[in-house]
Amino acid sequence: MDNINILKMQECDIHDAILLEATHSIHILNEEILKDDLKKENYHYIVVKNNDVIIGYAGISYVIDSADLISIVVGKQYTNMGIASLLISNLIQFCTENNITKILLEVRELNTPAQKLYEKFGFKKISIRKKYYNNEDAYIYEKVI
């Protein structure tokens, strides 16, 4: 990777960000939701670009001192290259700079790689939502900053 930049997501980035989800056959967000979220003051989305090509994105919503991780997606061909770590680090930095003291997220019980990543950054499993994803549980993680 030649030229990595982490930037605040712009409306012109939405289409390419959504295409990244398709590389994993997931559909967390869509263009309408992202477009709407980018207009709100309490949402913060970032993209990772390599030579101006979006290879990952993440977003949070926040109220007062608490944030919820909405999504974190890295293009399949860029997994295990530290891109997700860059995204999480950047979001934690944003939270710290904006006096956000807690980040919550949910992750599928079978998504062990994501769980290990979150735990690497100090997230702790605090709850389980039984059968949240049809027959799969969701684990709720929290990071206190």
* Catalytic annotation, residues: 106, 118
Asked if 28 contacts 108 with a C-beta cutoff of 8 angstroms, the reply is no
Determine the residue type at 95: C
DSSP H helices, 1-145, are 14-22, 31-38, 83-97, 112-120
| Angle ∠(128,23,90) on CA atoms, nearest 5 | 65
Q: Residue 135 and residue 40: Cα distance in Å, rounded?
A: 33
